[in-house]
């Protein structure tokens, strides 16, 4: 009977866990809708900002551009911004981003580069501090933000820009997860500083040739710092949607696994109970026959 009691207690415990995971899945699904809408709304602006920089950079025609575009002339010192979530229970979302940042850090260290890490999110900091604690310069905690806003991205961007102006690094790389679907979140590595300008496409080259006033250098000098903030904001929104999608998927799997475990435990409980009843009946019949 002690075994039956243990099984019953375990069934009760797993059932309670299943209720929690099911509730967490529903909460994540509700948050995902808003996070996905915000991420989708930010993409066109960020992409248009990028195309504008491509056009302006093409118009320089060999002239020296702003330092944020040209860089410091060296790539010895690197800053890695690793953006993860503040909470767990979301599958491999946090660990995959942290692993990408750790892999980049290992490659740079092996090449003799100086590396600094700025963690955005507690989970990334927890994963990296064991091995790279001496490289982490700060942790940006966004747990107090109910919804990600541009105000959350600006301090991170300003910190990076200030460090670049003070020549604390030469190259800044941002790591985050791009939201594709509930089941798919792609870890993204994006160079923030100096600005990574993609090659002009044929469509861009065949577009109208604009005359800018003021000159391209002045516009880029004003646009590039804003672009850093925009790209960080976009990364935070993509991360938010990816985190909720990953949590929704993880909690759905956990709910189904809990259901399977309850079925197995219930079957085992019924077998044990039937065996106990049969054993008692045999004892009663044997006793009656003996009398």
User: Within the chain, which residues score under 70 in pLDDT?
Assistant: 1-2, 58-63, 198-213, 291
Q: What is the pLDDT of residue 205?
A: 45
pTM for this prediction: 0.84
Please identify every residue annotated as catalytic. Answer: 90
* SS3 labels along the chain: CHHHHHHHHHHHHHHHHHHHHHHHHHHHHHHHHHHHHHHHHHHHHHHHHHHHHHHHHHCCCCCCCCHHHHCCCCCCEEEEEEECCCCCCCCCHHHHHHHHHHHHHHHHHHCCCEEEEEEECHHHHHHHHHHHCCCEEEEECCCCCCCCCHHHHHHHHHHHHHHHHCCCCCEEEEEEEEECCCCCEEEEEEEEECCCCCCCCHHHHCCCCCCCCCCHHHHHHHHHHHHHHHHHHHHHHHHHHHHHHHHHHHHHHHHHHHHHHHHHHHHHHHHHHHHHHHHHHHHHHHHHHHC
Predicted local distance difference test score (pLDDT) of residue 250: 93
| pLDDT of amino acid 179 | 93
Domain at 24-250: CATH architecture: 3-Layer(aba) Sandwich (3.40)
- Give the model's pLDDT for residue 274: 87
Q: So where are the chain's domains? A: 24-250
């Amino acid at each position: 009977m002690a075994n039956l009691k243990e099984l019953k207690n375990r069934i009760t415990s797993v059932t309670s866990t299943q209720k929690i995971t099911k509730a967490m899945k529903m909460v994540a699904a509700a948050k995902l809708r808003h996070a996905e809408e915000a991420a989708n709304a930010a993409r066109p602006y960020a992409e248009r900002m990028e195309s504008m920089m491509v056009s302006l950079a093409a118009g320089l025609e060999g002239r020296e551009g702003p330092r944020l575009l040209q860089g410091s002339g060296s790539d010895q010192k690197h800053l890695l911004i690793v953006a993860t979530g503040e909470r767990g229970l979301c599958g491999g979302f946090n660990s995959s981003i942290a692993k990408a940042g750790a892999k980049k850090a290992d490659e740079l260290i092996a090449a003799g580069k100086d590396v600094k890490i700025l963690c955005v999110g507690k989970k990334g900091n927890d994963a990296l501090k064991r091995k790279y604690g001496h490289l982490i310069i700060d942790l940006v905690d966004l747990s107090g933000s109910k919804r990600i806003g541009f105000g959350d991205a600006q301090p991170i961007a300003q910190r990076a820009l200030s460090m670049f102006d003070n020549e604390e690094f030469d190259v800044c790389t941002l790591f985050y997860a791009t939201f594709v679907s509930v089941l798919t979140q792609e870890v993204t590595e994006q160079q923030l500083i100096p600005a990574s300008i993609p090659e002009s496409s044929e469509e861009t080259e065949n577009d109208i040739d604009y005359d800018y006033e003021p000159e391209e250098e002045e516009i880029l000098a004003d646009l590039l710092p804003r672009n850093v903030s925009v790209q960080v904001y976009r990364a935070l929104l993509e991360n938010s949607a990816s985190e909720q999608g990953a949590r929704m998927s993880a909690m759905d799997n956990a709910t189904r696994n809990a259901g399977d475990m309850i079925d197995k435990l219930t079957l085992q409980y019924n077998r044990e109970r039937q065996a106990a009843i049969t054993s008692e009946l045999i004892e009663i019949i044997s006793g009656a026959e003996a009398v």
